[in-house]
Amino acid sequence: MPGTESARRVNPLRDPRDRRLNRIAGPSSLVLFGVTGDLSRKKLMPAVYDLANRGLLPPSFALVGFARRPWTDEDFVAEVKASVQQYARTPFNEDVWTQLSGGIRFVQGEFGDSEAFAQLKQTVEELDEQRGTQGNHAFYLSIPPKDFEQVCQQLSANGLAQAEPGTWRRVVIEKPFGHDLESARELNNIVESVFPPDSVFRIDHYLGKETVQNILALRFANQMFEPLWNANFVDHVQITMAEDIGIGGRAGYYDGVGAARDVIQNHLLQLLALTAMEEPISFNAEDLRTEKEKVLAAVRLPEDLSTHSARGQYAGGWQGGEKVKGYLEEEGFNPDSTTETYAALRLDIHTRRWAGVPFYLRAGKRLGRRVTEIAVVLKRAPNLLFRDHNDEDFGQNAVVIRVQPDEGATIRFGSKVPGTQMEVRDVTMDFGYGHAFTESSPEAYERLILDVLLGEPPLFPRHQEVELSWKILDPFEEYWARSGTKPETYSPGSWGPASADELLARDGRTWRRP
């Protein structure tokens, strides 16, 4: 891509034998729309500072904010500094801040205000001259999807989306990528009518997490796992994203969306694709995306959606010594809402590797604890030698990848209990990032923003992946809407509704209790 080679610079302060991330972005700016929102304040602006503090941004970098607030450049600099001091991962360094803040600018305006976008164009052109950004600009749309079309049209109409030879322009959009297949296609058409497909970066912050990327290393850099990673040895796979908090003040966003659209369609189906994909021929974007798309295209839905899915809403009650409201009692919610706060699905992948292996996905609020994990559960060993034991006495071996918190991996296997009897009990071997490495993992947004500036999109789903994910989820959403039944209530602090346990019980299995 234009400008990519110039961006692939090596930090001269690093030892060339050091294989950790050692490239810095080339001259460029990041233009943030929605700078007054929580995402920008808590994640994006601190991530920019952390990149600068780690030496991964060049001196010729600029940060531009666009919002309605009547701020001056100085006001915005103060806002960014406050955000950095409160939320940055790395210590505050006055020298780094002085260098970074010299390139911070602010443009006031509404999305429908052409004059504001003309001012934005003038601002980035001035940065090309004053800061040396060399015509390379990324536009981060941290705004509701309903505003994408207007902003993209304004960027195009004011000449901000068009790159001169030897420069680049890119756009970054956050999930949700639509609310069903039709809206996702419409959204893709809007964005890609202005920016070329290779210049569109769809951010799923889960894909920037160190542990998610470690799925590929665990599978393909180790001989011990890949021979077992198939239907000959794997009984089933469970992918869980549990939160111990409720909806809080998110009524405006969450009601009508629900757990399945909010996280299963994107986060959990991406984790499924990385877990089940074949080995790519390289780590470049095209090869990785191709293998993920093959998996998503091979997903087959059960014939009976009613017995292979479950939905729930958390009720009020006590959780962790605190009395909490039920979903329908939260402020701003329709008391007749049928939006689920818990969803579970069974999916099957029709490939030779995974034929007959069910994948169970679940996500929910107000569950027993906050955890995201992938559990690859192996088939039981033949009980030939231990005839005095029932099959149930032996657990099933499992490889568990912990995405958050306590990032790492666990292997569960049977071991003899000390003593004179031949008694076998499940034990675990544990790997934790915090124990194995002295360097803390970067925040997901650090890696993702750097990849945008470098023009390297392997962690970003393209529109084919997004549409395939909606093709998987839409039938469940349509069935739930047709059925007219309300989600089953479940107690706060539990692991979901009884129907979710029944979903696995029909297959003779049970959910893990992380």
Supply the DSSP string of 88-132, one letter for each residue: -SSPP-HHHHHHHHTTEEEEE--TT-HHHHHHHHHHHHHHHHHT-
Distance CA(150)–CA(141), nearest Å, equals 11
Residue 482: Cβ-neighbour burial (10 angstroms; 0-12, 13-18, 19+):
exposed
Task: Name which of 435, 256, 460, 471 is nearest 347 in CA terms.
Answer: 471
Cis previous bond, 405, omega within 30: yes
* 418, 423, 426, 428 alpha-carbon torsion, rounded to 10°: 20
Q: Which residues contact 207 (CB under 8 A, 6 or more apart)?
A: 213, 270, 444, 448, 459, 460, 461
The token pair at 457 is: 């999109």
Dihedral sign for Cα atoms in the order 145, 149, 151, 156:
positive
Tokens 């292996």 -> residue: 357
267 is catalytic: yes
Question: Which residue in 205, 267, 308, 463 is the catalytic one?
Answer: 267
Q: CA angle 144-148-149, nearest 5°?
A: 140
* C-beta neighbour count of 65 within 10 angstroms: 26
Name the token pair of 98.
Answer: 């002085």
Catalytic residues: 267
